[in-house]
Amino acid sequence: MYPHERSLVEEMKDKPFALIGVNSDKEIARAKKAVADNNLNWRSFHAGPEGTRGPIPKAWAVQGWPTIVVLDADGRIQYRGHDGDAATKVAEDLVGKLTAGK
C-alpha cells in the first residue's frame, strides 16, 4: 500500500487534495516507526490505544482495514470502501472538476 499512497500524495502536491490517515495501530510508536521507515508523507490522526476499536474507527463503523473514504471539497462522502484504485479514481476526478478552468 505505502508506495501507492506516497505517489498519490506526490502527484497531488500542488492540487487541492489531502491524504489524511487514521492510524489504527494500538502503539503510536509502531505507527511512527512505519512513517520513518517508509518515508510516509501524509498526516494521520491516531485512533488511540484501542487501535482498530478506538473512537474514530468505531464511530465511522470501520470493520475492515484498509478502509478508504473520499470526501469532496464540501466534506461530502463520495466513496467508501476497500478498493484503493477505485478510491484514487474518484479522488482524481473530483480534483479534476475542482481545478477545471482555473
Partner 1 sequence: MVPKTKWALPLLFAATLAAQQRPQQPTPKSPAAAERYAALQAEQKKLTEEWMAKVKAMSAEAEAAKKDGKPMPAMPMRPDTSAIGKQALAAAKEMTDGDDAVPFLLMVVNADRSAAADALSLLGDKYADHPATAQIGPMIGFLPRIVGEDKAPAIAEKFARSGNADVRGWAVFAKHEKTIETADREGDAYQGAKSELVKVAELAASADLKDRVRQAIDTREKYGVGIVAPDIEGTDLDGVAFKLSDYRGKVVFLDFWGDW
Contact 72/94 with Cβ under 8 angstroms?
A: yes
Residue pair 24/65 in contact (Cβ under 8 Å)? The answer is yes
Number of residues that bind partner 1 (CB under 8 A): 67
* Among residues 13, 14, 41, 42, the one that binds partner 1 under rule CB under 8 A: 42
Cell 490522526 sits at which residue?
Answer: 45
> Between 73 and 102, how does the x/- string for binding to partner 1 read (CB under 8 A)?
xxxxxxxx-xxxx-xx--xx-xx--x----
As measured in angstroms, the least distance from the Cβ of 101 to partner 1 is 16
Quote the CA–CA distance of 36 and 22 in Å, as a whole number: 17
Work out whether 41 is an interface residue with partner 1 (CB under 8 A).
Answer: no
**72: its cell numbers:** 469532496
Grid cell 467508501 in the structure block, residue:
80
Binding site for partner 1 (CB under 8 A): 1, 3-5, 7-8, 11, 16-25, 28, 30-35, 42-46, 51-53, 56-57, 59-80, 82-85, 87-88, 91-92, 94-95, 98
